[in-house]
């Protein structure tokens, strides 16, 4: 018997069944159903410690990447705004109240690192933390190299892998992204539960970089 993907989003299976058909676009394996499920599990773990509206949070998680914009696109910084607008339309069609739609839209808009918008609600803070947890640790390293492959970037500069004599450029070298973004993320977590999880994953990320440099 085949299990529905929505069943993995317990206790919000019904909501997931309604929203998953709208939740992803394109073929980006770093922003796919598996990513949504990891972010959902992160969010529910933080929600259990911090509180907040679980159904609203689940909707924000499910729709936070509902518009796909490649990392190399000039529209990348607008991706979360575009996703929030699409999400609002989806929830409006489902009969959600406008206040709750606005709360979901804000959480989606504020989750993005590129957007640089401060989360103003607990649900927005949880979503931002849950999404950023998937950008550090072992999964963050895996996604970094996956995205570098999509962008046809090299793994590292063989003559200067740590960029001691050149500017960092993560559009050319995957390993540069550790310094330009990934190793900075743990300092910006919004919730106590998120910060605790982030410190553990940050240490894993540092270990990945250490082992990578040792092998080259």
The rounded average pLDDT for each run of 10 residues, N- to C-terminus, in the chain (216 residues) is: 82 95 82 93 97 97 88 72 93 96 96 84 97 94 93 95 95 95 94 97 96 95
Same-domain check for residues 102 and 9: yes
**Four-point Cα dihedral 181, 141, 133, 204, nearest 10:** -100
Residue whose tokens read 């969010």:
43
Same-domain check for residues 149 and 50: no
Same-domain check for residues 89 and 43: yes
Cβ atoms < 10 Å from Cβ of 21: 9
Same-domain check for residues 180 and 86: no
Residue 80, pLDDT score? 87
Q: Which residues pair with 154 in a beta bridge?
A: 173
Residue 14, pLDDT score? 95
Residue 216, pLDDT score? 93
47 is a domain residue: yes
d(CA 142, CA 34): 13
- 153 with 187: CB under 8 angstroms? no
d(CA 11, CA 57): 12
What's the number of domains the chain is made of?
2
Same-domain check for residues 91 and 48: yes
Residue 75, pLDDT score? 65
147 is a domain residue: yes
Same-domain check for residues 102 and 205: no
Residue 97, pLDDT score? 96
Asked which of 119, 145, 175 is the last residue of a domain, the reply is 119
Same-domain check for residues 113 and 166: no
Residue 78, pLDDT score? 78
124 is a domain residue: no
Range of the domain at 162: 135-216
Q: What residues have CB less than 8 Å from 203, skipping those under 6 apart? A: none
Q: Is the pTM of this model over 0.85?
A: yes
Same-domain check for residues 112 and 140: no
- 156 with 216: CB under 8 angstroms? yes
């Amino acid at each position: 018997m085949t299990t529905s993907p929505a069943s993995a989003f317990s206790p919000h299976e019904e909501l997931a069944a309604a929203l998953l058909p709208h939740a992803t676009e394109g073929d980006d394996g770093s922003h796919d159903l598996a990513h949504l499920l990891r972010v959902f599990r992160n969010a529910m773990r933080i929600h259990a410690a911090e509180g907040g509206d679980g159904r609203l949070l689940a909707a924000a998680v499910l729709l936070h990447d509902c518009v796909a914009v490649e990392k190399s696109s000039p529209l990348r910084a607008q991706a979360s705004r575009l996703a929030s607008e699409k999400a609002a339309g989806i929830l409006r069609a489902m009969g959600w109240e406008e206040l709750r739609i606005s709360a979901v839209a804000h959480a989606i808009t504020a989750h993005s690192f590129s957007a640089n918008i401060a989360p103003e609600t607990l649900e927005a803070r949880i979503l931002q933390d849950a999404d950023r947890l998937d950008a550090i640790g072992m999964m963050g390293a895996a996604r970094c190299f996956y995205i570098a492959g999509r962008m046809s970037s090299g793994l590292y500069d063989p003559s200067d892998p740590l960029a001691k004599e050149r500017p960092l450029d993560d559009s050319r070298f995957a390993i540069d992204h550790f310094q330009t973004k990934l190793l900075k993320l743990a300092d910006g977590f919004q919730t106590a539960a998120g910060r605790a999880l982030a410190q553990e994953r940050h240490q894993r990320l540092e270990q990945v970089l250490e082992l990578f440099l040792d092998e080259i």
